[in-house]
Amino acid sequence: MTAAKDRVRLWLRLLKVVRGIEHELRDNLRRDHATTLPRFDVMSALSRNPDGLKMSELSGVLRVSNGNVTGIADRLSEEGLVERIAVPGDRRATRLKLTAAGQKEFSGQAAAHEAWIDDMLGGVSAEEARTMAARLQAFADAAARSPGSRKVKDTADAQ
């Protein structure tokens, strides 16, 4: 077997694991918190930025289009979980910030999310998790430096 085939096999296994975990997280969020993973991701990004984020910054952090963020922001705002704040000097820009209710709601979701991940990856020791995370970060850093490749950005450290 060639090294290239080994790497493809590794990629396929990583993808299978990530998709399986993501599927379970989506189901758990829907069942236990009546929410979706994209909503969780928006609230997570806002929780890491207590002063809020402009819509364009939020879409950049999440690596999705402004249109994807707008619909989620609208619904979170209607539910009183985020507030829209005008950006001084820019009539078109809006900053999103978690409300107190949003912070409380996200806190419960984040605790559950952490417990689910801990349970799903319970067979991995803390040392193995650190080693694997460091190796994946080294890969992401190398990919970001590679000419002509799209940057692989790690957002896990921010969560």
Distance between CA atoms of 41 and 88, rounded to whole angstroms?
Answer: 26
Residue 157, Cβ neighbours under 10 Å: how many? 7
Q: Where are the domains of the chain?
A: 32-120, 124-159
**Strand intervals (E) in 50-98:** 53-54, 82-87, 90-98
The sign one gets for the Cα dihedral 85, 88, 91, 95 is negative
Distance between CA atoms of 77 and 90, rounded to whole angstroms?
Answer: 20
DSSP, res 1: -
Whether the full predicted model's pTM is greater than 0.95, yes or no, is no
Tell me the pLDDT of the chain (159 aa) as tens digits.
799 999 999 999 999 999 999 999 999 999 999 999 999 999 999 999 999 999 989 999 998 988 889 999 999 999 999 999 988 888 888 899 999 999 999 999 999 999 999 999 999 999 999 999 999 999 888 888 887 655 555 445 444
Which class is 32-120 in CATH? mainly alpha
Residue of 133, 155, 135, 137 whose CA lies nearest to 145: 137
